[in-house]
Chain A
Amino acid sequence: MTNLLTVKDLTMRFGGLLAVNGVNLEVGEKQIVSVIGPNGAGKTTVFNCVSGFYIPTAGSVMFQGKEMRGKPGFKIAQEGMVRTFQNVRLFKEMTVIENLLVAQHMHAEHNLLKGFFMTSDFKKKEQELMDRAAHWLEKVGLLDFANREAGNLAYGQQRRLEIARCMVTEPKLLMLDEPAAGLNPNETKDLDELIVHLKDEQGISILLIEHDMGLVMGISDQIYVVNQGEPLASGTPAEIQANPEVIKAYLGEE
């Protein structure tokens, strides 16, 4: 079986600082894979390298058998890999529905003349975008807020909208950077269900950075542990929980 995503020897250097050193990751089809590690371990840097936000110093990022390293972010998104951010990055001054319409830009009709004359073709396509947006708003429970300004939503709602915005691009791999940060236990439970739903019903894979161990251990198929930029361990949740190295990295030595 070929992997959806294979990251090999990923290295990122900022001047003298080696932020990520030789990290490997494998994500298969319909899998939830988590990256954990103490604060400042380089997890987000790994995400930034994989999603094309940074160009890694060395290593390779293969997505569906194609090299992604050095490609611009929009190309990577068009291949089917999209991400959320730790600090939610919505288009805060646009409405909820507009956020989802913008994200479908690459699926949209770009003939300005057709738009100008409102041809039936154009209207049909525009309707498709609206339908897909409405479908995902319903899935994340924000349909009633469609015309609200995104910046005015509650924090938990903003996080769900960010996931919906990724989903309308119809990705094959969704990368979530600490999606449970700042959520209350109930919201975290909803998020848990949403992520599992995305895997089971939509058939996509999810790469997750998360500190909420309950969430990570409950839904992950595979876990990678990163510490101080270096890979520390990988395995199933049960293996990771029993690994003394991991416990040491998190809790310090006795």
Chain B
Amino acid sequence: MSDSIYYFIQQIANGLTIGSTYALIAIGYTMVYGIIGMINFAHGEVYMIGTYISFIVLAGLTMLGFDNVFIMVGLAMMVSIMIASAYGFTIEKVAYKPLRSSKRLIALISAIGMSIFLQNYIRLAQGSRDIAMPSLIQGGFLLGDPDGSHILISYMQVIIIVTTIICMAGLTLFISRSRMGRACRASAQDIGMTNLLGINSNNVIATTFIIGASLAAVAGTLLGMYYGVVNPYVGFIAGLKAFTAAVLGGIGSIPGAMLGGLLLGVSESLTAGYFTAEYKDVVAFSLLILILLFMPQGILGKPEVEKI
């Protein structure tokens, strides 16, 4: 095989890795939007908090002398999921629930406020410096000639993609099979009606926030380990990217968020690979503008019908 094909596949693999984490975060945006019709701009901050928690847990376990990487990462992810869900749940109760019957714009401003609050809270609690972590999982699969043209897919990349697939499969099962999932789907269509059929909409809304936060925590743990660095501002850009992914795929649509995340990741990595890395954000957000202009409902979304 020629050089250029190896290079292309490498870029696609890198793109799918980043794209899966965008997809994980995007689920939180899209599910909340689907049910209560608002953009939870504090979601990126939940992702950032998830990253911090897993860093703290990993550091703690290392100090205690653990050396099994899989147990460490698994534990870090679990603690991160639990604490991030508690954040997601609380954010909804404190900042959005009291505003549920007011105009959308008011809840949106509250979300932005929540985002600024959390960012600064973490900055005070953890400092504004970058916190770095040595990579726990090294090495990878090498395809091709080690000295010439080759593809290198690190174990971390494989873990990210496999974990994402497991999470997405679990979520799809939950949404399509479980009773709460059924109630979530019905509420996304008409939350007033599910309420009148005896379903407590507060529980449905809390569930979507908890699911969204859990997946953001998974993404935070994975991406944190991939980059090996975290600071209080990572939530902002990751949140924007994931939001772009959700809009790209069609906001409100879960498969759309998955597809949007992957597409965004791949287009970013192709830009970085064939053009220059500095332009990858330009491409990502140009994509957002183009989608909003020419295809506002996204790839898998339905045209907006104003809910009565």
Q: Report A214-233 CB contacts with B as 1/0, cut-off 8 Å.
A: 00000000000000000000
Across the interface, do B178 and A105 meet the contact criterion of CB distance under 8 Å? no
Residue numbers in A under 8 Å from B196 (CB-CB):
51-53, 73-74, 76-77, 82-83
Q: How far is the CA of A103 from the CA of B183 in the complex (A)?
A: 9
Across the interface, do B197 and A82 meet the contact criterion of CB distance under 8 Å? yes
Q: A82-B197, A169-B198 are in contact. Are A91 and B190 (CB under 8 A)?
A: yes
Across the interface, do B189 and A105 meet the contact criterion of CB distance under 8 Å? no
Question: What is the chain B residue whose CB lies nearest that of A77?
Answer: B198
Question: What is the chain B residue whose CB lies nearest that of A126?
Answer: B179
Q: How far is the CA of A158 from the CA of B196 in the complex (A)?
A: 18
- Whether A247 sits at the interface, judged by CB under 8 Å, is no
Distance in Å from the Cβ of B236 to the closest Cβ of chain A? Answer: 33
Residue numbers in B under 8 Å from A108 (CB-CB):
179
Distance in Å from the Cβ of B246 to the closest Cβ of chain A? Answer: 19
Residue numbers in B under 8 Å from A92 (CB-CB):
189
Q: How far is the CA of A134 from the CA of B169 in the complex (A)?
A: 29
Question: What is the chain B residue whose CB lies nearest that of A99?
Answer: B186
Across the interface, do A112 and B197 meet the contact criterion of CB distance under 8 Å? no
Residues A100-123 near B (CB distance < 8 A): 101-103, 105-106, 108-110, 112, 115
Residue numbers in B under 8 Å from A73 (CB-CB):
192, 195-196
Question: What is the chain A residue whose CB lies nearest that of B182?
Answer: A102
Q: How far is the CA of A101 from the CA of B189 in the complex (A)?
A: 15
Given A51, A74, A166, which contacts B199 in the complex, CB threshold below 8 Å? Answer: A74
Q: A89-B190, A110-B180 are in contact. Are A105 and B185 (CB under 8 A)?
A: no
Q: Report B181-223 CB contacts with A as 1/0, cut-off 8 Å.
A: 0110110011011111111110000000000000000000000
Residue numbers in B under 8 Å from A76 (CB-CB):
196
Given B178, B179, B193, B195, which contacts A91 in the complex, CB threshold below 8 Å? Answer: B193
Across the interface, do A115 and B199 meet the contact criterion of CB distance under 8 Å? no
Across the interface, do A94 and B179 meet the contact criterion of CB distance under 8 Å? no
Q: How far is the CA of A125 from the CA of B16 in the complex (A)?
A: 41
Consensus secondary structure, chain B interface: helix
Distance in Å from the Cβ of B173 to the closest Cβ of chain A? Answer: 9
Q: Report A35-77 CB contacts with B as 1/0, cut-off 8 Å.
A: 0000000000000000111000000000000000000111011
Q: Which of B197, B200, B308 has the most CB of A within 10 A?
A: B197
Distance in Å from the Cβ of A102 to the closest Cβ of chain B? Answer: 4
Residue numbers in B under 8 Å from A93 (CB-CB):
185, 189
Q: How far is the CA of A101 from the CA of B193 in the complex (A)?
A: 14
Residue numbers in B under 8 Å from A85 (CB-CB):
193
- Whether A172 sits at the interface, judged by CB under 8 Å, is no
Distance in Å from the Cβ of A123 to the closest Cβ of chain B? Answer: 12
- Whether A78 sits at the interface, judged by CB under 8 Å, is yes
Residue numbers in B under 8 Å from A210 (CB-CB):
none
Given A72, A102, A109, which contacts B197 in the complex, CB threshold below 8 Å? Answer: A102
Residue numbers in A under 8 Å from B201 (CB-CB):
74
Residue numbers in B under 8 Å from A51 (CB-CB):
196
Q: How far is the CA of A52 from the CA of B180 in the complex (A)?
A: 23
Q: Report A185-222 CB contacts with B as 1/0, cut-off 8 Å.
A: 00000000000000000000000000000000000000
Across the interface, do B192 and A91 meet the contact criterion of CB distance under 8 Å? no
Across the interface, do A53 and B192 meet the contact criterion of CB distance under 8 Å? yes
Across the interface, do A103 and B197 meet the contact criterion of CB distance under 8 Å? yes
Residues of B whose CB lies within 8 Å of any CB of A are 177-180, 182-183, 185-186, 189-190, 192-201, 308
Can you list 9 A-B contacts (CB < 8 A)? A74-B199, A91-B186, A91-B190, A99-B186, A101-B182, A102-B183, A102-B199, A106-B199, A108-B179
Top-5 shortest CB links A-B: A77-B198, A106-B198, A73-B195, A102-B186, A73-B196
Residues of A whose CB lies within 8 Å of any CB of B are 51-53, 72-74, 76-78, 82-83, 85, 87, 89, 91-94, 98-99, 101-103, 105-106, 108-110, 112, 115, 165-166, 169
Name 11 extra pairs, CB < 8 A, besides A82-B196, A94-B185: A73-B196, A74-B195, A74-B198, A82-B198, A91-B193, A93-B185, A94-B186, A98-B186, A101-B182, A106-B198, A169-B198
